[in-house]
Structure 1
Amino acid sequence: MAGDNRIDRSRRAFLRRPLAGLVEGRDRKDRRREADRAADPWRPPWATDGFEDACTRCGACLEACPEGILVKGDGGFPEVDIAQGSGECTFCRACVDACPEPAFDDPDSSSPWDWVARIGAGCLATNGIVCQTCGDVCDYHAIPFAPEESGPPVPWLKTDACTGCGACVAACPAQVIKMVHRPQR
């Protein structure tokens, strides 16, 4: 109808809803995945498969991390927590160089880890709100945005380009990006 000035109240209500409401609306699979992640902590880059056996929990890697993202985790073992420090791993190798034990693989001959980002269902862009924060902070161009016919562009993850640095996780305003193990081919 031409000249119809009625307000679409459902859209306004969506925008007034707190972002936490999007996160709280996660399904059981998301909660189960988070529980699995807690059982499989995010270790520092280049940590060996037998990291817990080799690590003496001396804290040298925590002190050496210039980004401040390494914290003492369960049992005193170092874990990555992107909510701390700069919010991303720059793969500077400081943790590897600081460790006196054989707890890390050689950075020159192996990849840092098999973690990649996963964008959850509460993503603002997939819910009709313009947001490209994750793509803007990704230095590796792993999160391009696909144009949509009706609505803002939506992100998709190029797992081959994702390094698992965590920058997108820290920057996501809805906090729906999580780190998961790279899918097996």
Structure 2
Amino acid sequence: MRKPLLAGAMALALLAPSYALAASWTKSGSSATSGSTGTMTRPNRVDATTQNFVDKAWNINNFEIQAGREAQNKANTQEFLDYARRIVRDHTNMDNELKPIVQQDRLNAPNALDKEHQNLLQQLSSMTGARFEERFRTQQIDGHEKAVKLFESYAKNGQNPELKRWAQSAVPTLENHLRDAKALPRGAQGTHAER
């Protein structure tokens, strides 16, 4: 009689850490009452501006990582390859810095790109050569112009102190990406524009 009870108890003990880890990434509408960790006692009330910023920032980072990888596979010129490598590296770093803030403050992060960024990626995947490079360049300029405005706005007006600091620290990187995207050669012409 004791063996089935013992086996059941051991199975529950093994499952508990996995369940706790999964639960720590989910967002619930109520505040946590457990006092076991400092972060679990935080109320889980997130203002709409903060959640909107997290959604957009996550989509920007993950789109840039995927677009950069696409460019590493398809770009023909060294300028594009170098730029793509920087994009992947910098946005991966930004994403890695965002994850612990999202987890600590019990925010929601998307698990897939939104329709807008999926469409942009689909455009890139359907092109090659000079057409690919020109589309990639245009997307990088448009995307980083929007990203700079978004991050500057949250850094100035946001309510979450950690996210404000993260947004502010990301602005110079985003501005550098924008500047470098404008300096990429236009299509097959190889001329530098919008310096």
TM-score (norm 2): 0.25
- The structure number with the bigger radius of gyration is 2
The structure with the greater share of residues assigned to helix is 2
TM-score (norm 1): 0.26
